[in-house]
Homo-oligomer: A and B are copies of this chain.
């Protein structure tokens, strides 16, 4: 019997997961993964902590080398190979070997696209200055670390107040820099509730971040040394020894489009529950794809490692001949903003209204553990509730210890369509060093119940 040939395009996160799963499911399959850069399987989410020096030695962020993937996971890895074209009619890839600068064709039985995402650009002159950085690859991470070590920047301007922006504020403050965060809206972290976003601003400012609101970048001021020395905005000009662009990402779909792979309404690749695209034998997973929102049942673009890994397992299993499905995600995300934990699960009140829900929100502040115990901290929970069914649609949890893990508990409630009455009946642990008699989750659910 002819061996099944599975080709995987892209090696950062979803690619290795999909390839490894394919081999586990079908050990006789011939699986090959192509990656245009030198690095596969990289912990980019840990990069801010490596830049801050909290994780020493950046090379530890490499989870698997190509050699280890070959030996331990049993598939072939071709780095510095750029896939230029998919020929679905012929079931072939056209691949450029970047070292030899030759084009080679590879035949496949099944193809998995894990082409990832790229950081959004500002499209402003000076954006390519040698002290202007994105943070979406190992190369970016190493460039930032190297620049900081060699040039000892004093002033950093971070443009974009999303997750990476938050983490980089903390990382660069930890290194002792003056940090200016330039954001186009009044509050950072779009998608979170207003109360949460206001708390984040307070925390940023408390830790010395200069937060510039409602600002749009009008230009950079490059010097003859190839560096941007000033960031010019409608809200003032800011000195910059270094600039971080953290404007979010967009899916890499050029290859998919050229192969007539269908994109969804979000602009990312659309797949079914098996991670199959509209093209027979072509699967996709990871940051190049959209995913079904389990609350609204509509597609969303959610470039997260958790979603990528789970979708990649499904793509890998199905490409290998198995039968797996990926039901979607509720959106479960968290970020550390200096001293506070901030988490979001499910949809925001704005999204809920847009999706046609009749929305009730309720917010309480409880204690992370018994108040008398040293280290007890405030935890705030805002619940977003469908007032017709009393179902929990989303929640923000922020504050001290355990905010994030409590969000996970609420995430389960959201995923399983539980009502606030059911949440109020949760049998939760009370133990003075860990949780108060009435966990903030119960306090929030009981308060919300009283509104009906």
A interface, CB within 8 angstroms of B: 43, 45-46, 49, 54-55, 60-61, 294, 304-307, 309-310, 327, 329-336, 341, 343, 345, 370, 372-374, 402, 404-409, 411-413, 415-416, 418, 422, 425-435, 437-439
Residues on the B chain within 8 Å of A428, using CB: 306, 332, 408, 411
Q: If A405-B402, A405-B409, A434-B334 touch, does A306 touch B46 (CB 8 Å cutoff)?
A: no
Contact A333 B404 (CB under 8 A): no
Task: Give the docked Cα–Cα distance between A331 and B426 (Å).
Answer: 11
Number of chain copies forming the complex: 2
Min CB distance, A349 to chain B, in Å? 19
In the complex, the answer to whether A305 meets B46 with C-beta atoms within 8 Å is no
Evaluate contact between B404 and A429: CB separation under 8 angstroms. yes
- Given contacts A370-B46, A372-B61, A374-B54, are A334 and B429 in contact (CB under 8 A)? yes
- CB-CB under 8 A from A439, the residues of chain B are 408
CA of A410 to CA of B407, assembled, Å: 13
Contact partner, A408, options B329, B335, B409, Cβ 8 Å:
B409
Query: Can you list 23 A-B pairs with a CB-CB distance of less than 8 A?
Result: A43-B372, A45-B437, A46-B432, A49-B372, A55-B372, A305-B437, A306-B429, A309-B438, A332-B427, A334-B431, A334-B435, A336-B433, A341-B433, A404-B434, A405-B408, A405-B434, A405-B435, A406-B408, A408-B429, A412-B413, A412-B426, A415-B425, A416-B416
Complex contacts, A43 vs chain B, CB 8 Å? 370, 372
User: Nearest Cβ distance between residue A434 and chain B, in whole angstroms?
Assistant: 4
Residue of B nearest to A308 (CB): B437
B61 and A430 within 8 A (CB): no
| Chain B residues, CB < 8 A from A304 | 430
> Are A427 and B294 in contact, CB atoms less than 8 angstroms apart?
yes
The reply to whether B407 and A405 form a contact with Cβ atoms under 8 Å apart is no
Bound Cα distance A336, B373 (Å): 13
Closest to A13 in B: B437
- In the bound assembly, the distance between CA atoms of A430 and B434 in angstroms comes to 21
Interchain CA distance A335-B55 in the complex, whole Å:
31
Nearest chain-B residue to A325 (Cβ)?
A: B425
Docked Cα-Cα span, A411 to B310, in Å, equals 23
Alpha-carbon distance A406/B412, docked complex (angstroms): 12
In the complex, are the beta carbons of B49 and A437 less than 8 A apart? no
Give which listed residue, B310, B331, B335, contacts A431 with CB less than 8 A: B335
Which of B60, B334, B411 touches A372 (beta carbons < 8 Å)?
A: B60
A431 touches B336 (CB 8 A): yes
Which residue of B has the minimal Cβ distance to A368? B405
Contact residues in B for A61 (Cβ distance below 8 Å): 372
Chain B residue with minimal CB distance to A334?
B431
Closest to A313 in B: B446
Chain B nearest CB: distance from A375 CB in Å? Answer: 10
Whether B333 lies near A431 (C-beta < 8 A) is: yes
**Complex formed: what's the CA distance from A404 to B43 in Å?**
27
CB–CB B404/A373 < 8 A: no
B55 touches A427 (CB 8 A): no
Q: Is the CB of B373 within 8 A of A329?
A: no
B332 touches A54 (CB 8 A): no
Partner of A426, one of B335, B411, B430, B433: B411
Other than the given A306-B428, A306-B437, A329-B427, 20 more pairs (CB < 8 A) read A43-B372, A45-B431, A49-B373, A55-B373, A61-B372, A305-B437, A306-B427, A306-B430, A310-B425, A334-B429, A334-B435, A336-B431, A343-B431, A345-B429, A404-B431, A404-B435, A405-B409, A407-B429, A408-B429, A416-B422
With A427-B332, A427-B411, A434-B341 as given contacts, are A54 and B404 in contact (CB-CB < 8 Å)? no
Instruction: Looking at the assembled complex, report how far the CB atom of A309 sits from the nearest CB atom of chain B, in whole angstroms.
Output: 6
Cβ–Cβ < 8 Å partners of A415 in chain B: 425-427
Query: In the docked arrangement, what's the CA distance between A43 and B436, Å?
Result: 11
CB neighbours of A437 from chain B (8 A): 45, 305-306, 309
